[in-house]
Amino acid sequence: MAQTSAPPASRRRFDVAVRGGGVVGQTLALLLARDRLRVALVAAPRPPDSPPDVRAYAINAASRDLLLSVRAWPEGRPTDPAHPLPTSDVPTVTPVSAMAVHGDGGGALRISASEQGTDALSWIVDVPALEQRLAHAVHFQSGIECLETAPPAALTVICEGRRSATRDELGLTYSVRTYPHKAIAARLRCSQPHGGLARQWFVQGEVLALLPMEGADGSSVALVWSVPTQQADDWLAGDPQAMVQAIGERTGNALGEMQLENTAQSWPLELSHATRWVTQTAQGGVALAGDAAHAMHPLAGQGLNVGLADVAELARVIHEREYWRAVGDRKLLRRYERARQADAQAMGWLTDSLFGLFAEPDTRVQALRNWGLRRVDQLGPLKHWLARQAMGQAG
């Protein structure tokens, strides 16, 4: 009997179509494939002339456990030992042993991993290394098919980011409030080792963080700097050394002399959220996750962690569904929406409140916020609670 070829993907129906090939989308695809679901991962190929990504992610313990569970943590052995990834002597993951937050009037807060009874508060991860490990895991995971166009599916999950065209086409309202700031990202080589300490300064209405890179003994840091939009444009268009000098002044040269290791990049900042996270179409159910559902100021380093918590919850809800309920069932998706929407909005509110508090020029507010930092540093239970929140262990 003659064999018939399989129909093209555009005509086959998948259980789930994940739209968006970033960290959130790939992680969800891996989680769902473990449940033997037929998953289409829909993403356009990365343009070959794209500049190198200089960002770094702060990964909390919950997100690290999730990435380890799908064998996509960017250190240790790769997903398939028979097809190893390129290796480097430079660590791509750096544990954060302590965190120091400096106010603009002498206020300061320091949290250490040892105080919390753990080895690390979080982990700073090189973005390209994480994306490479995820792509490797996806490639060798049966049940995932990578496509450039969306096929029919019982459930479509939109992980396309803040400017999702699919979300807008479906009429899922996305409220956006832009900040008068842009974020600047770069890598800096310092004359002094960082010691695994993540540092952050609230100064002159700006938020500047130096995140440790290249292992506990490294001297490279990832810069995340929230500055007024026009000033950010001026820094990127001007002399790079002038920007490095300004960073040194704002940080009190805490790590000695610094050199820019690459071209700095920037992006606009906003507080955004979708009014509804789920809907139904004639083809099946639809759900939002990650930046397609919410975006927030990066000052707390929680944006990706909140997105990964979204897909962890969605995968859990699907895994625990009644045997007779389809993956795109409306009631099933509402469980996911109820579980995640409030938490994401709460984190957005927190980061927005902190940004507004430290952007306020009133000297009375300045005195109050710096007093608050000092008091939190002195109050053990409150500091412990804040640390557990940041570590993704709020329970």
Nearest to 318 by CA among 132, 275, 310: 310
What pLDDT is recorded for position 372? 62
Assign residue 57 the CATH number of its domain: 3.50.50.60
Is 252 within the bounds of a domain? Answer: no
pLDDT at 348 over 80: yes
Is 163 within the bounds of a domain? Answer: yes
281-308 per-position pLDDT tens digit: 999 999 999 999 999 999 888 899 999 9
pLDDT at 388 over 70: no
b vs e for 164-197, b when ≥16 Cβ sit within 10 Å of the residue's Cβ? bebbeebebebeeeebebbbbbbbbbbeebbebb
Is 5 within the bounds of a domain? Answer: no
Q: Answer with the residue of higher pLDDT: 342 or 367.
A: 342
83-87, 183-187, 203-207: range with highest mean pLDDT: 183-187
Structural domain including 165 reads: 14-86+127-176+271-358
Is 329 within the bounds of a domain? Answer: yes
Q: Answer with the residue of higher pLDDT: 271 or 11.
A: 271
What pLDDT is recorded for position 382? 53
* Rounded distance between C-alpha atoms, residue 133 and residue 143, angstroms: 18
What pLDDT is recorded for position 385? 59
126-153 per-position pLDDT tens digit: 999 999 999 999 999 999 999 999 999 9
What pLDDT is recorded for position 361? 73
Q: Answer with the residue of higher pLDDT: 19 or 364.
A: 19
Q: Which of 16-30, 72-86, 289-303 has the lowest mean pLDDT?
A: 72-86
pLDDT at 120 over 50: yes
Average pLDDT in the 21-48 region?
93
CA distances from 114 to 134, 280, 387 (A): 31, 48, 12
Number of domains into which the chain is organized: 1
Band (9; pLDDT cuts 50, 70, 90): low
pLDDT at 65 over 90: yes
Is 253 within the bounds of a domain? Answer: no
Is 9 within the bounds of a domain? Answer: no
Query: pTM for the whole thing?
Result: 0.90
Q: Give strand ranges (E) for the chain.
A: 14-19, 39-42, 56-59, 93-96, 98-102, 108-112, 122-126, 144-147, 153-158, 174-190, 197-203, 206-213, 220-228, 258-260, 265-274, 278-280, 285-288, 294-295
Is 39 within the bounds of a domain? Answer: yes
Average pLDDT in the 274-278 region?
96
Is 340 within the bounds of a domain? Answer: yes
Band (1; pLDDT cuts 50, 70, 90): very low
What pLDDT is recorded for position 88? 64
Q: Which of 21-30, 43-52, 217-226 has the lowest mean pLDDT?
A: 43-52
What pLDDT is recorded for position 107? 77
Angle, CA of 247, 251 and 257, to the nearest 5°? 65
- Helix locations, 188-329, DSSP H: 229-237, 240-250, 303-319
Q: Answer with the residue of higher pLDDT: 217 or 81.
A: 217
